[in-house]
A and B are shown apart, each in its own frame.
Chain A
C-alpha cells in the first residue's frame, strides 16, 4: 500500500508491521483483562443472585427494572450532584492555580507541579481521616474558629463535608490537565489581546477558556468520574448520613450479597459515564477541527 505525500512523491506505505505492533498488544490486553471481565459483570446483571452471593440462573430482567425505583434514582441523582459540585469547586480553585503555575519560571513549574501531586503519595484513607479531625465538632477547625468568635462548626457528617472531601481527593487531577493545556498556549495571543485593550475577564472568556477547553474537560472528567464512584468519603465524612452510588454498589456486593443488582447498578453508572465521555470525545474532535 502506498501513499502520496503533499509533494506528490510516491513512497512505500508505512510498514504494516509497525501498525500491527502498535495496536495489537494493547488491544489484546484490554480484550482479555477488561472486556471479558466487564462482560462477566454485565452478564451477572441479568442473572439471579445465589443465596450466599454469586450468581445462578435463571436469566431475568428484574435487576434492571429494580433500578428505576425512586430510592435508587434518588441516590444516583444525589451522587451526580455531589460529584458535580466537587468538580465545579475543583475547577474554581484549580484553574487559577494552574494559570499561576504557568507564570512561574520553568524549573519552579516542575517543583510546583510535584508539590500539587505529592499529597497523593500518602494514603488516601489517612488523608480522609485527617479531615475528620479537622471538621469534627470538637475538631481543629472548630476550635480555631471558636477562638475568633465564629463559633463551633458542625460540618462533619453533612453533605458539605462529603463534597469537600471529594474536591480534596481529586483536585490534583484537575490541575494537571489544565496546566498541560495552558502550557501549549501561545502567550503572544494573550499579549496581543491585552494590547488591543481586552480586560482580564474578556481575555479569559474569549482566549483562555476556549483554547484550554480540552484540558478543562479532561480535568473535569478526571474529578467527576472517581467522585461518582467513591465510597470511602461518603462513609467516613458523611457518617452514613448520605448514601452515594459507590456505597450502594459496594453494599450490594458485600452486604446484601446481591451481585446481580450490584452489577445492574454498576451498568447504570457505566452507561451514564460512557455518554458523558463520548460527548467529550466528539466535542474534542470538533474543537480540533477548528484548530484549537
Chain B
C-alpha cells in the first residue's frame, strides 16, 4: 500500500468550470452523480404515479393509452433499478464515501472518475431521448424480453428499444470506469493503519457491490449488443423463426431463453449491487445513532462477501416458469434459500446492535429502522418466491411486484434517505431541516408499507402484473379494485412527499442550520477532515493515521461515548480480535 503524501500531480482547480463542471474531485463528482440520479428518479416516481392512476381509476384519464401505460411501466422499472439506484449507490455514495472513509486524497484515477460521470450523463440523455423518438420509448417491460421487445405489437419496437439498449450499453461503460476506480482505490489508497478489517461496513458493501457490478454488467452488455444486432441486422441470437403480425419473419433458430439467462445472470447480482451498499450504509447508521459498536463486525463482512458470491448462482429463480429445463428448479431453489441464512444473520446483527444501545431516534436512525422493518418483510416474501413450488402460482402476479418493490425498491431507498440526512452536514456543512425530514419520513415509511403490504394479497389472488386493466374477470372481486384505488391514493401522497424532500435538499443546502464538524459524534474517519465540508484533496498537508476500527462507541473507560478512528493509539477502543485468537490484545 502506498501512502501518497505527494499531491503535486493533482493541482487545486481554480476556475468555476474546473471546480464544479469538469471536476476531477470525487466529492463534486459524487454530487453530480447524485443530482442526476435524483432527477431521473423523480421522473421514475412520476411515471409510477401515472401508472397507478390508470390502475386505480381505469378509463378516467384518457391520455393513459395502453401504449403509454406499457412505456411508463418499462421506463419506470429501468430508471429506478439502473439509473437511480445503481448510479446513486455506486456513483453517488461510492464516490463520496470511499476516499473519505479510507483516508485517501481522491480516487486513484480522478480523470477516469470524471469521465465516468459524463458518460453516465450521456446514457441518461439517450434514455430520456426515447420519449421524443418516433413511436416513443420501448414498452417491452424493464426485462426487455425478446422476441416481443423488437417486434411490432410492442410499443416503441422501432426506435425506443434501440435507444434503450444503446443507453444501457453506455451506462455499463460508465459503471465499469467508475467500478475499476472504486475497487482500485479501496485496495491501493487506504491510509496508514486502515486495514481491510477496519473499514466501515459501508465501504465493504460498496466494494463488494462494485465487484459484482464489474462481473455482472458484462452479461447485460453482451445481451444488449446481441439484441441490437437482432433488431438492426436481423441476426438471430434471441430470435427463433416467428410469425409476426401475420408475416413470416426472416429470423431463424435463436433462443429467447438465452436472453433471459443472460439478463438474470446480470439481473440477480444487480439486486445485490443495490442491496449490499444499503446493507453496509445502514450498519453504519445504526451503529452511530445507537452509540454502540456494530454487533459481529467480522460476521457482517463475511455475510456481505458470501451473499455477493452466492448472488451469481441463484439467477434462474427468476425463471422457474420460463420454460427452461424444469430440473434446474431444484438447484436454484436450494441455492436461493441458502442465501437467506447470511441475509438473516445481517438482520439479527442489526437488531443486536440496537440491543442495550443508547438509541437516538434521529432521522437517519428512523430511516434505518424503517429499512429494517421493510427489508424483513421484503426478504421473507423472497422465501415464497425462491421456493419453486410456492413460486409457481405466484410468479408473474402482483405478489412479485410487491416483493421486489419492498426488498429492492423501498428498502434501499429508505437507506438512501437515511444516508442523505446523515451525511448532508458533511457534504454541505449544513443540517437538513428536521421538521420537514420527519414529515418526509413518516409519509414515506408508512405510505410505502400501506402500498405494498396489501398488494401481496392481490398476487395471491392471482392478479397478473403488467395488465393495463382487469375488466371483466370474474375471479377478481370488486373489493380488489377498491383496494387498488386505495393504493393509488397512497402512492400519490408518497410521490408528492418526495418533492418536499427535494425542496428540503435545495433549501437546506443554502439556508440550513450550520452543522459542526461532527454533528452525530461519529467515530469513522470521514468526519475528521481538517475542514467541513472537506476541501480539495481532503486531508490538508498530512494524511491521517488510523489506529482502530470505525465502531469504537461507548467503550468502557473512555471519556466520551466514541473514539475517533484516528485518535492516538493509547485511547483504546480497538477492534475485537478474530474468533479463536487470544483476546489479549487490548492496546497495540
Q: Are chains A and B native binding partners rather than an unrelated pairing?
A: no
A contact residues vs B (CB 8 Å cutoff): none
* Interface set of B (CB-CB < 8 Å, partner A): none
